[in-house]
Amino acid sequence: MAEKQEVLISAMRHEAKGILSFEMVPTLGNNLIPFGAGDHIDVFLRDGLVRQYSLMNDPKEKNRYQVAVLLERQGRGGSAFVHQTLRVGDVIAISHPRNNFKIVDDATAHVFVAGGIGITPFISMAHHCKQNALLMKLYYCARAPETTAFVEQLVPLFGKNMLVHYDRGDLAKSIDLNELVKNEKGAQLYCCGPRGLMNALSEIVDLQGGSLITEDFNPISGKKGGEALSEVGFTVELLRSDLTIDVGPGQSIIEALKAANVEVETSCEAGVCGTCVVDYLDGEPVHNDVVLMPDEQETSVALCVAGCKSKKLVLDL
């Protein structure tokens, strides 16, 4: 089971149009688990409603977590719950901090490309870079000044190494990613924001060369579990439990395990949070997640969205 901690909502602030931040402090007698640059937490909003948010304050702060949430009117309910129901004084459960978006400390320079609310992980990462005298630069892409949060706290962190680009929602006015990649050759690139931005940057980096790490909390094509899965069934073998379980066509491994009364902790069930990741020892999984790096996919699999090319997948469970 993923470990949880209880926190008190101590402050909420309107940061920009549609963006609300909230702060969490320990409940009486508890300490917050320390966190690192780029860490995120699962926030258990109510039964079955769990969302991942990046921790955005300085990781040196020991008694406070801060996250920010964009109200997504066509969303799946998490952001609406935060904006409309969560209030100062509420006590909620959150996971321990986790990291799928690590700073590559030995890179010569760090270039952050943020799209809208995707700015949040870069604030804690900027604190880390500044404290460790690492070269950094920020490209912050947003629609308009009124929807752009945290600029005031970014200025002292980045100084002149920050470019805010407004596109007014017009694709033709988007930032020139080809130029960006060309100008930042040799730097470690990081991107967080809408999937379109991350995919576009990723394609350009593939063509021009370079190194890019992305953070994505969006569900896979809006699909959950089984919808993204294999059309043919397969078998999972649980090595440590000595069990063999059939996974039907279109069924997720998680669903098959639950039907066989095998408990596996899940959170997003959309391949974005990493809660259900386990090691596999044999077989050819089809990785539908966005949480594992290619080298991690050689040994690990996100059970909520993975399919399987081989007839059998052997899991370290």
Q: Which stretch binds ligand FES (CB under 6 A): 25-33, 174-182, 242-250, 273-281?
A: 273-281
CB of 47 to ligand FES, least distance (A): 16
Which of 204, 269, 307, 313 touches ligand FES (CB under 6 A)? 269
Q: Which stretch binds ligand FES (CB under 6 A): 69-77, 105-113, 156-164, 265-273?
A: 265-273
Which of 32, 125, 236, 276 touches ligand FES (CB under 6 A)? 276
The reply on whether position 18 binds ligand FES by CB under 6 A is no
Q: What is the DSSP string of the chain?
A: ---EEEEEEEEEEEEETTEEEEEEEEPTT--PPP--TT-EEEEEEETTEEEEEE--S-TT-SS-EEEEEE--TTS-SHHHHHHHT--TT-EEEEEPPB-SS---TT-S-EEEEEEGGGGHHHHHHHHHHHHTT--EEEEEEES-GGG---HHHHHHHHTTSEEEEE-TT-GGGS--HHHHHHHTTTSEEEEES-HHHHHHHHHHHHHH--EEEEE--S-GGG--GGGGS-SS-EEEEETTTTEEEEE-TT--HHHHHHHTT-----SSSSSSS-TTEEEEEES-EE---SSS-TTGGGTEEETTT-EESSSEEEE--
The reply on whether position 267 binds ligand FES by CB under 6 A is yes
Rounded to the nearest 5°, which phi and psi values hold at 145?
Answer: -55, -35
Q: Which stretch binds ligand FES (CB under 6 A): 72-80, 123-131, 228-236, 269-277?
A: 269-277
Which of 219, 274, 283, 285 touches ligand FES (CB under 6 A)? 274
Q: Which residues pair with 214 in a beta bridge?
A: 191
Nearer to ligand FES, 205 or 291 (CB): 291
Nearer to ligand FES, 191 or 304 (CB): 304
The reply on whether position 304 binds ligand FES by CB under 6 A is yes
The reply on whether position 275 binds ligand FES by CB under 6 A is yes
Whole-angstrom Cα distance, residue 267 to residue 280?
20
Whole-angstrom Cα distance, residue 96 to residue 266?
14
Q: Which stretch binds ligand FES (CB under 6 A): 10-18, 103-111, 131-139, 262-270?
A: 262-270
Q: Which two tokens stand for residue 30?
A: 């508890």
Nearer to ligand FES, 58 or 289 (CB): 289
CB of 304 to ligand FES, least distance (A): 3
Nearer to ligand FES, 118 or 271 (CB): 271
Nearer to ligand FES, 155 or 259 (CB): 259
The reply on whether position 95 binds ligand FES by CB under 6 A is no
Which of 289, 308, 313, 317 touches ligand FES (CB under 6 A)? 289
Total site size for ligand FES, rule CB under 6 A: 14
Which of 228, 302, 313, 315 touches ligand FES (CB under 6 A)? 302
Give contact residues for ligand FES (rule: CB under 6 A).
266-269, 271-276, 289, 291, 302, 304
